Chains A and B, each alone.
Chain A
Amino acid sequence: MDKIKQNPIVKKLGFNRIVLVFVILLMYTLFCVATGGNFAGLPRILSALNYAYFLGFLSLGVTFVIATGGIDFSIGPVMFCAALISGYSLTSLGVPMGLALLISVFVGFCFGLFNGYLVAYWSVPPFIVSMASMNIAKGVASVFTKTQSVSWPQLAAGGWFRQLVKIGNFPVGLVIFVLVAIVCALLLNKTKPGRYILCLGSNREAVRLSGVNTKKWEMLAYVICGVLVGIAAIFFVGAYTTVQPGYGDQYNNEAIAGCVMGGTSMAGGLASISGTVIGVFIIALLQEGILALGFTKDYQLIITGIIVIVAVYADVVARRRKN
């Protein structure tokens, strides 16, 4: 085992990530066998991808926040809020499509700024901020849309944004998601903000005493998260068309699950974008697989919950062993 881990190629790719990829393949095979080959068809794969896009953006976003040692579980409702406000602007206020998409991103940005400011500059515990934001997002969305659900236009009715998700059967969304993930990876590992975010997540005081404005960079992590949540909203409606006010909580857990499965530590300072991407695909495949096996959405909730617990506990144990 150790010998495999020391192999330079394995080291470069990351042992855990390789294992996770095998998990994906194994899960896929299992689902195919269990559903009598039903799962192997293109519709299922496209459906799983649809799920992976918006979840992926949420997960990428929350990876930055968790890297600082914080948490944001307002992301699901904020995504719905962004989709509702922009969608309502589009369908009922006559805002052009392009602008509506920008509004979505802007709504995400605003919530990120709000959360980040309170956490970084006022030291409000992140879980309190998340809880408040989650409800504010739901309330704002309901008030704005007068508690109506919003349906985004189909492709034929001028909904060109759907081509961001797919053209014919070609998964444009996958290309965009991978591109954004690469940008995130570069941002986190190759730029100054990313370096500071990771370092302050690991040892805030040492970074501050190196003359770095830690508050600013901590807030930035939440802002990045917010923007990605705004993008997630676009891909959500691109795949599922209709959004209802008052929902979105369950995606918090799934996004965090993707993140911690990929090896990002809840204690902060350690984060892997590629890990998050793989984690997201596992979660998306799992959700799709559970449905394909004939279980209801309820089982998705339970299984995701258990996965997060196990993944976080593994991280806790690993850290205890190191100390």
Chain B
Amino acid sequence: MAGDLKKKSIFAKLGGQKFIVLLVVIVLFTFFSIASQDFRKYTTVLNIFDFSYYIVLMAIGVTFPLITGGVDLSIGTGLICYSLAGGYLVVHLGWPTGLGLLVSVLFGILIGFANGVLIAVMGLPPFLATLCTCMITRGLGSICSKGFGISWPTTGAPGSWFRSIFKMQIGGTKIPIGFIWILIIVAIMAFVLNHTKIGRYTIAIGSNKEAAVLSGINVKFYHIMAYVISGFFAGLASIAYAAVFPTVQPGTGAGFELEAIGGAIIGGVSATGGAGSIEGTLIGVFVICLLKTGLPFVGLQANWQQIITGLVLIAAVLVDIIKKRREAK
């Protein structure tokens, strides 16, 4: 039956890049564990999980624009903006926490929709449109909170229930149950990407937009949807961020998008669109998170992580490009 296929290597059967990246995660973890005693502690593992949630969520969302061949640079500053807006309502205006969180998510969807319209309908280059919304959300966030940091209710205080969404205290131990939610979300979004029209057409737009148009697909709608999903997940990420960090500071958030986009691309999303998977993105993000948490344990300041993330991103894209050049020959 498969005689007409080009032969697939064992490597490809194991999931290709995803498999290799998973190995990298394991190797990194082992390396840090051997190199540093402190890294081996349970609290470190808890930290890795804590600091991964918001990046994973952003990365899952941004996977969709990336697969269409675009990008969403507004997710990092956007996350902070949504959290500030929702938090202001809760902390200063006394809204119930749940409503505040809902506002955060809706705000994310709104900005995502704006990005989608700028790109799919008005025809602006994706990086430029989202670079602008990146700056705009940075300004908006600061205006929403009047320039001050926002401290969502701390653990134990009334209305702090959302903090235990991600970390539950059972007996004396803290359980990172957030990871379970993440796995569920990954499963749902993998389903969306692979088994629904939204996912299918997202891939079609990134792979061969012309063919998608000729097949009678409402390309503009699905193109916008990719950015709405990205915005929605930036909104969810803002909840995860608020739940983990005591205070949300205006003016921060730039650079988060690199960690998310970098994670997605390391996990096998093609920088030129058309291909990618949610599972891959999840694994890719953990490479970034491990580096971020682990490097200080081996004596490298946190700033090295920025440099290394940048270089790893370039390396991941180069691997993709070299692979394609080989195939073309």
Classify A-B as touching or not with yes or no (CB < 8 A). yes
A interface list, Cβ under 8 A from B: 71, 73, 118, 122-136, 138-140, 142-143, 146-147, 245, 249-250, 252-253, 256, 266, 296-302, 304-306, 308-309, 312-313, 316, 320
**Are A135 and B122 in contact, with the CB atoms below 8 A?**
no
5 A-B pairs with least C-beta separation: A139-B306, A301-B139, A139-B307, A142-B303, A298-B139
* Mask of B130-155 contacts with A, CB within 8 angstroms, 1/0: 01111110111011000100000000
**Are A304 and B135 in contact, with the CB atoms below 8 A?**
yes
**Are B143 and A298 in contact, with the CB atoms below 8 A?**
yes
Is B310 at the interface (CB under 8 A from chain A)?
Answer: yes
Q: Which of A122, A127, A138 contacts B321 (CB 8 A)?
A: A122
Main SS at interface, chain A: helix
Q: Which of B132, B134, B317 contacts A306 (CB 8 A)?
A: B132
Rounded to whole angstroms, the CA-CA distance of A309 and B308 in the bound complex is 32
**Are B271 and A128 in contact, with the CB atoms below 8 A?**
yes
**Are B131 and A253 in contact, with the CB atoms below 8 A?**
yes
**Nearest chain B residue, comparing its CB with the CB of A249:** B254
**Are A299 and B139 in contact, with the CB atoms below 8 A?**
yes
**Are B311 and A132 in contact, with the CB atoms below 8 A?**
yes
Q: A142-B303, A253-B135 are in contact. Are A299 and B143 (CB under 8 A)?
A: yes
* Mask of B85-123 contacts with A, CB within 8 angstroms, 1/0: 000000000000000000000000000000000100011
**Are A143 and B307 in contact, with the CB atoms below 8 A?**
yes
Q: Which of B250, B272, B305, B313 contacts A139 (CB 8 A)?
A: B305
The total of Cβ contacts below 8 Å across the A-B interface reads 140
**Nearest chain A residue, comparing its CB with the CB of B70:** A127
- CB-CB under 8 A from A250, the residues of chain B are 135, 138
- CB-CB under 8 A from B309, the residues of chain A are 135
Rounded to whole angstroms, the CA-CA distance of A129 and B321 in the bound complex is 13
**Nearest chain A residue, comparing its CB with the CB of B126:** A127
**Are B122 and A316 in contact, with the CB atoms below 8 A?**
yes
Is B301 at the interface (CB under 8 A from chain A)?
Answer: yes
- CB-CB under 8 A from B123, the residues of chain A are 313, 316, 320
Q: Can you report 14 A-B residue pairs in the complex whose CB atoms are below 8 A from each other?
A: A73-B127, A127-B73, A127-B127, A132-B310, A140-B307, A143-B303, A146-B301, A298-B147, A300-B139, A301-B135, A302-B139, A302-B140, A312-B129, A313-B122
Is B298 at the interface (CB under 8 A from chain A)?
Answer: no
Q: Which of B124, B133, B271 contacts A316 (CB 8 A)?
A: B124
Q: A301-B135, A316-B123 are in contact. Are A125 and B307 (CB under 8 A)?
A: no
Contacts A124-B318, A135-B255, A305-B136 known; list 14 others, CB within 8 Å: A71-B127, A124-B271, A124-B321, A132-B314, A138-B303, A142-B301, A249-B135, A253-B131, A305-B139, A309-B118, A312-B125, A312-B129, A313-B124, A316-B124
